[in-house]
Amino acid sequence: MTNKPTIVALLPMKAHSERVKGKNFRLFNGKPLFRWILDTLLSIEEIASVVINTDARAILADNGLADGARVAIRDRKPEICGDFVSMNLVLADDVAAVPADYYLINVVGMPLDSTIFLARMIFGGVLQRHPSLKMCVVHGGGYAASYPARFDHAYRVRPECREHIDQPPSAYLGRLYFDTMVYDVASLTDLVDRYGADHILLGTDYPYDMAEGDPVGLVRGLGLAPEDEAKILGANAATLLAPQLSDVQ
């Protein structure tokens, strides 16, 4: 018999937003937007608790929310408040302070985010409508970049997966760029073989705990031709960003 894992949901929430003022507390179909998210999380019995990291405890109280059996409100530290603070810093603060059995928000969640993003962009027809759009997808493109056959199979057998595109999803993947954050030589070799050295950019995830310890060493471990190695280590990024950099200058 194994112990039941503890699953904790992290729900960052701030009082104000630079783009949409007070969006978390605006009424949406009869109740505040944050309440829809919170109620959905609380409806999942496998989730032991929801941790709300916020600078808006008083506003939450005005909306009838306080610490409870399955809801814990954490006051956001002053140094990670503000509209221009990376959400990664807020989540890292919660992860360091909240006991849980696994780090699924990062271990599974980050590459899954990349996968969902790619699925939406491809099946929704965005890449078909904008063939010159250039993007680098982090986390090595998630699960989609190394497992494109499932997307292609769906395209063949599911009519809704052909509604907005007229090529297999792998054709659109081949136009994109991916970073090297896959942690081992075999996985990175697969990316290079599938998409070419000119479509891979160096990634680090620095300064977080899931950072690659030796990103340059990982690339050099592939044993590529010098010109291909140089592309991944910087030339691809310089080429991809050159127009934007010249605009800034």
**What is the secondary structure of 166-231 as a DSSP string?**
SS-HHHHHTTSEEESTT-SHHHHHHHHHHH-GGGEE----TTSTT--S-HHHHHHTT---HHHHHI
Q: Which domain holds residue 98?
A: 8-104
**Does any domain span residue 140?**
yes
Residues near 104 by beta carbon (within 8 Å), at least 6 away in sequence = 7
Tens digit of each residue's pLDDT (9 = 90 or more) over 92-101? 888 888 877 6
| Whether 240 and 137 share a structural domain | yes
The residue from 104, 131, 151 where one domain ends is 104
| Whether 121 and 15 share a structural domain | no
CATH of the domain at 218: 3.20.20.140
Q: Does residue 122 surpass a pLDDT of 60?
A: yes
CA distance 243 to 249: 10
Q: Does residue 249 surpass a pLDDT of 50?
A: no
Q: Which pLDDT belongs to residue 22?
A: 79
3-state secondary structure of 107: helix
* CB-count exposure of residue 123 (10 Å: 0-12, 13-18, 19+): buried
The residue from 78, 104, 130 where one domain ends is 104
Nearest to 176 by CA among 149, 144, 224: 144
Domain tally for the chain?
A: 2
The residue from 104, 139, 166 where one domain ends is 104
Tens digit of each residue's pLDDT (9 = 90 or more) over 1-25? 456 777 888 889 888 777 777 788 8
| Whether 121 and 242 share a structural domain | yes
